[in-house]
Every structure is written in C-alpha cells, then in structure tokens.
Structure 1
Amino acid sequence: MKTFDMSKTLRVIATAVLSTICANPAAWARDPSPNGVTPPQEETTALEEKLAAQLRLLAALYIEDNEPDKAIACYETIAELHPGDPRALEELTDICFRYESYDKAKPALEKLNRLKPDNPVALHELAKCHKEAGNAEKYIALFKKALAINPNSKEAHLETAIRLEQYGLMEAVYAELEKTLAIPSKKDKEDYDIFIDGRALEKMAYYLEYEGKYKEAANFYRRLLPLMELYDLALPGGIPHATLHLYYCEGKQFAREGKLDEARDKFERAIRAFEDIDARGALYLCLKKQGKDKEAGNFFKETEKLLNADLKGDLPPDALSNALNALAWFYAVTGEKTDEGLRLARRAVELAPHDAPTLDTLAELYYQKEDYENAVKYGKMAHETPKSRNVPYFRRQYEKMKKALEESRPRPAEGKP
C-alpha cells in the first residue's frame, strides 16, 4: 500500500509560504484585507499568533532535518512579527546559541537588552557574542555589568555560573558558585535558599569531577549529602546517585595516588550504592593495576554477563539501543574489546541516531582507535542534539576530539605557509 508522506508535503508547502512571508513579515501581518478594510487589532494579533505557532512547527521540522539556518529564519520571522515581545527575542537567541550563530544572535540580544536592561542572562549572552567576535573590551564590560545587577542574590549567582559554564569560563564559574554558597540565607526564604545551596554544591562537585579534580569534587559531594538527607532535597538521582559519585571520586583520587586497596574499596562501595558502568570499569582497571588478572577477568565476564542479559528478548528499538550502548560503553571505559564495542555502538546509533549518550559512545570508541575524523563527526552530533546542547560533559568530549584531530594533522615545515 502506498503511503502519503505528510511531513514532506508540509515542508514543501510551508517552505513556499515562509519564503513569501520572510520577504516582509511585518507588512504581511498588517496588510488590509482584500476589500480594503484593515482588520481590528485583536484579529491581527490572533493571526500573528497562529502564524508564529506554524513557524515554530516548521522550525522543529528544519531542526529534525539538520537545516539550522532555515530554523533560525523561522524564529527571525517570529521576532519581526512581535518586535516588542521579549519572549520572541529570547526564542531567537536560544536557537542562535544552539547552533553557535552568534552574528545573528547579537542584534536580537541588543534589542532584548533595550527591552529588559536588567536581565543578567541576556547581558551574558551578548557578552559571549562580543567574545566570539574578538571584542574583548566590550565582552568584559558587559560581563561586569551583568554581575552587578543582583550582587546579593544566591539564585542570580547560581544562574550566572551555569551560563558561564556553557562558555567554558571555569574560573569564573567556580567564583560564582562560591559566591552563591557564601551569601547568607534569608529568614523569609530559608528553605528555597537551602535548595539553591544544594544545587550550587551539586554543580560544583559535578564540574570538578568532569575536570578530573576528584579530591575537590569529593569534598563538595560530602557537603551536599547531609543537606539532601536533612532537607530531602529533590536533586537529580537523589541520595544514591550522589553517594555513588562521592565514592567514585574518592576511588579515582586513591587510584591516582597509587593507593589501590583503598581505591578498590571505594569503587565497590560506589557500585553497591548505585549500579554504574563507569564505576565497574574503574574497578576492573584497579584490579588489573593490582596485578589481580584472574579476579579482574572474572569481574569483566560478570559485568559482560550482566549487560548481555539486558539484550535478551524482543526489545523495542529504544530499549535495544540502550542495552547495546551500555555494553559498548563498558568496553570503552575499560579499553577492552574496542572492535566489538565499535560494532555494538554503530548498531545502537542506527537505532537511536539522535541520542547523545549513544553518539558519544561511538565517538569515544573512534577516539580510542585514533580515528579522529569519525570521533569528531559523532562527538559533534552528540554535542549538538537539543537535549545535550548545554551539558558540560558532551561539550568537553567534543573539544577533546577536535584537539586530537588538530594535533594529528601534519604541521607545515618551518618557512612554508
């Protein structure tokens, strides 16, 4: 039976409509009707809202088709239809930042800052645009202006830190998180301020862990856990997840110091707290370093058996992809069976081509095989999925792979261009 591809048809029709509207969107929305009578303001506004909704739908289709310029054009049109609406400008800057189109974000942010001059997030984003354009003086001035808006707000410093991390300015991130924790809680909002402190501790620990600063990260996890237990803080993963990360960081630090018995104990505690492939990989490598090859081999087989059990049965595509990815990632973190890991990861990506963790596993395995072209290709895809765009881990992985590719390329001889 022949099927009708509605999404393709919608793209064709919508593209034709969009090209007409984009030529002069404001005039299109305000033009009088064919009989020469201008519709009432409320009817025109309703018409614009309908158009904006359709443009958002079209933008989503363009994102799905990996056509970011056309998706941005949709949001530029929405902003032109609603020139005084901060939300439309915020949507436009969000999509521009997602695809690093800072030249297109800059004019929208300048308008947004005129509408909302005390918006620290918009000021930070405009500062980022100037930084990317090489205007360091303007970047620093805007950055300082943003920080001066709410000097005694715990929430403002936390949100500033989160935003700065997206720019990779880690020294400034840590400074802002320290400020968040240093500001005393207000009596009338003590519970909320404790929640903000919990988030700040979690972010500090998380960022330090992924920078490999395990000793410092463990200190912040130790400060976080009593708050979670005492105030029942609803943070991602809960107490078991935070406990896992505490033991994992302690284990990594002990391993770094050559204290392998202590490291092993911490990794075993981590696995008991919360089943985790990274902790299992770390324990395997610790056993190998201790020279306990037989025990390490048995543990490796035990983990393979555990992960292979999840591959049995008639699984739906997403569950099968997750199970394949889990085993492939175990091979990646141990550095064992990387060819088999690549095979599993490729199959997982075929089933879930837009899943960031799955794409990252494939990228990491290519990186370990020193196939940096493919590592960068899939690392970029992992970094640019909508759900992973602002996740520090995926950005750092992508930067690691780009650096490896650049360093692997032959450098021109001295005196030659």
Structure 2
Amino acid sequence: MSRRFYRFSLCTIATFALAASVYGQSTKPENRDTATAATPAAKTAGAETAADTRSSGYYHYMLAHEYEEMATTYGRPEYANRAIEEYKLALDADPSSKYLNSHLAELYFRTGRIKDAILAAQDQIKKDPSDLDAHKLLANIYLRSLGDGQQEPSAQMLQLAIGEYLKITQLEPNNAEDRLLLGRLYAAAHDSAKAEEQFQAARKIDPDSEETVLTIAQLSLDQGDTKHAISVLNSLPDDDQTSRTEFLLGQSYDQEKDTKNAITAYRKALGLEPDNLDVERKLADALLSDNQYDQALAAYKDIAEGDPGDARALLHLSDIYRHQGKFEQALGAIRKAKTIAPDSLEIDYDEGLLKDAVGDFDGAAQDLEKLAESSDHPSGQYSSSEKNNRYLFLDRLANVYREQGKTDLAVATYQKMTALGDDYAERAWQSEVDALRDAHEYDKAADVARTAAEKLPKDSSIQLMLAMQLADTDHADEGLALAKAQLKNTSDNRDVDLALAQMYTRLRRWKDGEESLDAAEKLSTKQDDKLTVYFLRGALLERQKRYDEAEVQFRKVLAIDPGNTMTLNYLGYMLADHGTRLNEALGMIQKAVQLDPLNYAYLDSLGWAYYKMGQYTQAENNLRRASERDSMDPTVHDHLGEVYEKTGRLKLAAAQWELSLNEYAHTVSADMDPGDVGRVQKKLDSARVRLAKEAGSTTVATRPN
C-alpha cells in the first residue's frame, strides 16, 4: 500500500464513520413479528440486498465528501465534479435521503451550477411539499443569488425568495427570524407596507428581540422616518439594549440633527463596547459638530492611538488644534496624516487652511492653486462630488487672494466658479460682488450684479442682490422697487421680506424695516427660520442705539443656536464696546473666533474686547491679525490706532487713523455710522498736535546755546 493511499484511507475511515452515523438507521422500523412469513432463504437474500444498497450509499457518500474536501482545499474544479458524481451515485442507492439531496444541492450552488441547485431543491419539495428543510434550502439559494447588497437585486430572484419565505412562515408561523427575513425581502422589493407587517409580526412573537427592533428602526430610517426609528429603539427595555441599539439610536438622532442626544447614545454604546472604534468615531464626530473641542480632541487622540493608520482622525486633530490656535500641534498632525494618505485632497485642502491660519498667505495660495488646477475638467463635466470639491478649492483660494488684497485675482477665481452652474453660480456671483465691495469698488460691484441679474432673470436671489447693491449706491428707490417686484403670494416672500428689512436698515428707514421683519416672521414656520429674523431685528435695534432691546433679540438666537457665530460676535462686540459685562462679552467673542478663526471681523472684536479690559498686548496681537486679513476696513485701523495711542506709540496711532480715514473716504454711507469719520478725524488731529508739540520740545531741548 502506498503512502498516498494510506493517507486517503485514514481520512475516509473518519468520513465513513460520519456517514454511518447519518445513514445507520433504516427509514422504516423492522417488524419482527412478520419476519417469519418469508422463508429463511428469502430473508437472507433480502437482508443481503438491503445491506449491499446501504453499503453502496455509504461508500459513494464517503467518496463524495472526500472529493468535496479536496476541492475546497486545493481549489481544483475536477474534484468538485467528482464529488457531484459520487453524490448522484449515493442518491441512486438511497433516493429518499434528504441529507444527500440537500448536500448535492448545496454543492451545486457552491460550484456555480445554480440551475442544478434549484432543480435539486425543487425535486425534494415535489416529493414532500411540507419539507421545511427543503424550502429553507431553496430559499437560501435564492437569498445567496441576490448578491451582497452592493447593487440592485434581481427582481425575479427577489420574488422567488419571497415566495419561499411565505411558505416557510406558513410551515412555522411562530419563528421570528423567518418573519424578519421575509420583511427584509419585502423592504428590498420596496414594499414597505408588507415589510412593516412582517416586522410587527416578528415583534409580537418576541417583543424584546433586539434584532427585531433594529430591523424595524432601520426600515424607518431608510424611509426617512427618523422619529419612528427613535421611538422604536427607545421602546426596547434597557436590559435588552446593546451597543448596536445605542449606535443606531445615535445615528437616528444625528439624522434629526439632535446632536446632544446623539452624543448621549454614542457614549452609552461606547460604554457597552469600549474597544469599538467605529462607535468612538461617531462620538468624536458628534462632539466636534457640537463644538465640544476638548472632548472631541480626546476622542480623536484615542482613535489615532487605537488605529495609527486612521488619517481621518489625524485630520480632525489638526483641525481642532488649528481652531484652538495650537498651530505646531496642528502641523504635526497634518504631516502624519499626509504620510498615511499622501494623495488625499482633503488633507491637502486642510494644509492650505492651516497655512492661511498662520498668515502664510503665499503658501496657502500655492497649495490651493494646485488643488484648483487638479480639479479642473477641460470638458466642463463634473460629478456632484467633483463640483463640490472644486467649489471649495476655488472659494478658499479666492478668500486668500482677498486677504492678500489681490481683488482682481479673487474676482477671476469667482468667475471660474460660475461655470459650475446652479447654486454654485449664484454663490459665485454674490462672492464676486462682496469682494468688490470690500475693496470699495462699488461701481464694479454694481456692474457685476447687473450682469448676473441679466443672465439669471428668474433667480430671485440674484435680483435681490442687485436690488441691495442699487440701494447702497444712491439708487435706493430703484433698488427697493426691484426687491418688491420679487414678492409673490407664496412662502418665498420670506426671503424677499428679509432682504427688504436689511435694505431699510442700511437706509435707516427703521419703521419700514420693522414691518418687513414682522412680515418675514409670520412666514417663518420653523424655529431655525426665526433665527435670521431675530438676528436682523437685533441689528436694526442696535443701529438705533436701542441696545437693551437688541440684546433681547440676540439672546433669542443664542437660545436656539448657542454656536451662532454671527450673533456671538455681534452681541459680544456690542457689550464690549459699551464696557458692559466685559468677561461675558470676551467669552462670546472667543467662542466665535474658535468656531471661525480666519474671520477678520471676529478677530477685530476680540482685540477690541481685550482693549476695553486693559489687556493691550492681547488686543494688539488680535487687531494686527485682523488688519493682516483685511487692510481695507476703517474700523480695524481705528481700533489699532487706539491701542498704539494707549501704549505710547503716537506716531503709529496717527498712521492707523490716517489709514482709517482713507478707507472711510471710499466707503458707502450704509457701511458706517454717522459720526464715525468725525471721531477718527478728531483723534488724528489731536495726535498731530501732540506730535508737533513733542517735535518742538525736542528741537528746543537739542538747540545749542
């Protein structure tokens, strides 16, 4: 006997033992009382025939199993074919064997002979229509044929699977798992009503089943009914909830934009499964979304430690450090992320933002120019994600150009954005107008607004942009008429009323502004819609110097949206400017800067708050940063002049006040308050007198006797 045959024999002995355990019993009981009806010779012959048949079945099953194992081990299809042939021979010897028939059907399926697999299972069902195992086998074949869920399943195969599971639920009506599977199949077939019916049946069978609750909740989420999903998930007893339940609950709250409850759910999920980084990632994202930077930072650090290859965690770490002003740590994190994902556009983009944050405008521009160039398609055809990326790259690049005072380059960049069409074009036109306004090129801004209005005559937002530009440049009646022409008998009037309110405020027509805001508020059905109304009403009251009433409106905004940066800055600056509750004012502005660290107006407010508190070093640092980001704002120069004057640098102060007056000379009246120019002029005149006196004193002191 050869060694190869010897090894084969050892294996077949084990297989033979298994086969014997399966087939060792006859399918019918032996009736010993009637055995005597046959002659001894006949009994012996019959016994030998049954034994031979059984032995043949064992033998062929044994070989079939061995070939099947070899096919799996060596991946050779000829072994699978031999196994199939042996199963057939085994079935010839024992045609009633469910075990052999199911194994043959399974092997057919695994070797890609789907039609043969289905026929084999169907053949068994023909023999016994109530054979539950055969129905499950056929259903399983249909299920596997549906694929991995990455693409739309075959409608025919889906209906066949549904048909089998309908029979299965009839044969065992109290099996919750069968009901869940049938419900999922209905959901895949987009029959949500029948899916829900099966899920509810499963829940009646097992009310506390987490799997059932998760399935019902997921169906609700897929249908966009997040409230029902949350209700179902919360109905599960606390003792039956696992990390999976809390995780899906967190995702449901996320979809509802209920970040606080999402955080609570993710925390519970992580507590139940502390090593699950997927849960911690969702928790970290929610914390970041809620502006809980310190806790988000700790979570992302833990993720980066648990998965050193997670570039996304490092990217978020860099982003948080940048917001906190910890630029060295931000740079370290971004460099690590680049080693992991050197081709990531998101990392390159964030690196550009980081350079912008530290004042490296040239470096930021170079990085963003490369990204903008790489995102350009000569064909002009973009997918939705490509459009969004290109918009982000161009928009940030234009902002950097504006910070450098390169208005022409910024305008040219915005013009490239208009080619993206749709909402991107609208935003590009608006940004181009804003860039020209910031540069005090109001006539050019008006020309751009007119061009946009001509190209998009049906776009109400563009028409309102032109209307506001006209009102700001001595064409108030024309601008107001154009804005009012956009009024329709629809809920869209809200946007028009808001625009009119801003125009009236800038024209100092307070009563008209109040009436427009009242009209807009009536059309603001959602809480979020009221934010803009409250903010604009606060600005209207502040411009009238009704500060206490303005504060009430700003507080309404923050009660709904505590992270509203515009309101935090406006209210914080208003309080600081009047020396009121300076610590609270400083905290508000610091939060606004943390959320939007590149906003020069927020940096100016922060510097001014420090000035009012007598912290002149911090005041100067922030005001200088604000001036670097926008050198054309007269208020920033005025504030910086105050700091220089207070710290004994009168020449520098006078230089800043001169710059302030120069910018005021090119600013429209709507962008400044009456008396601003006079106040700055008075400070400059006083400084010049003092400087002259100091110069005279120095001349007298140094004149020789």
SS at match of 1:237: helix
CA displacement 1:195-220 (0-9 Å, x = unmatched): 54454114433676799975442021
Residue 457 (structure 2) pairs with residue 270 (structure 1): no
The aligned residue for residue 340 of structure 1 is 512
- One-letter identity of the residue aligned with 2:410: A
Contact 2:497/2:520, CA 8 A, preserved across alignment? yes
After TM superposition, list the pairs within 5 Å mapping 1:16-415 onto structure 2.
48-57=243-252, 70-129=261-320, 138-158=329-349, 171=361, 174=365, 176-181=367-372, 196-197=389-390, 199-205=392-398, 214-225=407-418, 228=419, 233=420, 237-239=423-425, 242-243=428-429, 245-246=431-432, 248-249=433-434, 252=437, 256-257=440-441, 260=443, 262-274=444-456, 275-286=462-473, 288=474, 296-307=475-486, 309-310=487-488, 312=489, 315=490, 319=492, 321-332=494-505, 334-345=506-517, 348-349=520-521, 351-355=525-529, 357-358=532-533, 360-370=535-545, 371=547, 373-374=551-552, 376-377=554-555, 380=558, 395=565, 398-410=568-580, 411=612
Deviation, 1:111, is 2.4
- One-letter identity of the residue aligned with 1:305: K
**Cα gap change, 1:197/1:55 in structure 2, threshold over 3 Å: closer, same or farther?**
closer
**Cα gap change, 1:151/1:359 in structure 2, threshold over 3 Å: closer, same or farther?**
farther
Deviation, 1:180, is 1.9
**Structure 2: how far apart are the matches of 1:168 and 1:397?**
25
CA displacement 1:111-138 (0-9 Å, x = unmatched): 2213443444422332455567786654
CA displacement 1:253-273 (0-9 Å, x = unmatched): 67x15x74x554333223323
SS at match of 1:158: helix
**Structure 1: how far apart are the matches of 2:542 and 2:316?**
32
**Structure 1: how far apart are the matches of 2:406 and 2:526?**
32
Contact 2:538/2:554, CA 8 A, preserved across alignment? yes
Count of aligned pairs? 339
Contact 2:471/2:477, CA 8 A, preserved across alignment? no
Q: Which has the larger radius of gyration?
A: 2
Deviation, 1:404, is 3.7
**Cα gap change, 1:52/1:151 in structure 2, threshold over 3 Å: closer, same or farther?**
closer
**Cα gap change, 1:55/1:194 in structure 2, threshold over 3 Å: closer, same or farther?**
closer
**Cα gap change, 1:245/1:176 in structure 2, threshold over 3 Å: closer, same or farther?**
same
**Structure 2: how far apart are the matches of 1:164 and 1:382?**
34
SS at match of 1:117: coil
**Cα gap change, 1:163/1:335 in structure 2, threshold over 3 Å: closer, same or farther?**
farther
Gaps of 5+ in 2: 1-226, 457-461, 581-611, 616-705
- One-letter identity of the residue aligned with 2:247: A
Contact 1:93/1:105, CA 8 A, preserved across alignment? yes
**Structure 2: how far apart are the matches of 1:143 and 1:53?**
31
- One-letter identity of the residue aligned with 1:377: R
Of 117-126 and 374-383, more deviation after overlay is shown by 374-383
SS at match of 2:527: coil
With the length of structure 2 as denominator, give the TM-score of the two structures. Answer: 0.39
Contact 1:205/1:220, CA 8 A, preserved across alignment? yes
- One-letter identity of the residue aligned with 1:54: L
**Structure 2: how far apart are the matches of 1:179 and 1:358?**
40
Gaps of 5+ in 1: 1-6, 22-27, 30-43, 289-295
**Structure 1: how far apart are the matches of 2:554 and 2:355?**
24
**Structure 1: how far apart are the matches of 2:406 and 2:515?**
33
CA displacement 1:41-92 (0-9 Å, x = unmatched): xxx9xx543343335446777x66xxx6555222211333444444422321
Q: Percent identity?
A: 15
**Structure 2: how far apart are the matches of 1:58 and 1:98?**
13
**Cα gap change, 1:263/1:198 in structure 2, threshold over 3 Å: closer, same or farther?**
closer
**Cα RMSD (Å):** 4.8
Higher relative contact order (CA 8 A, sep 6+): 1
**Structure 1: how far apart are the matches of 2:287 and 2:492?**
33
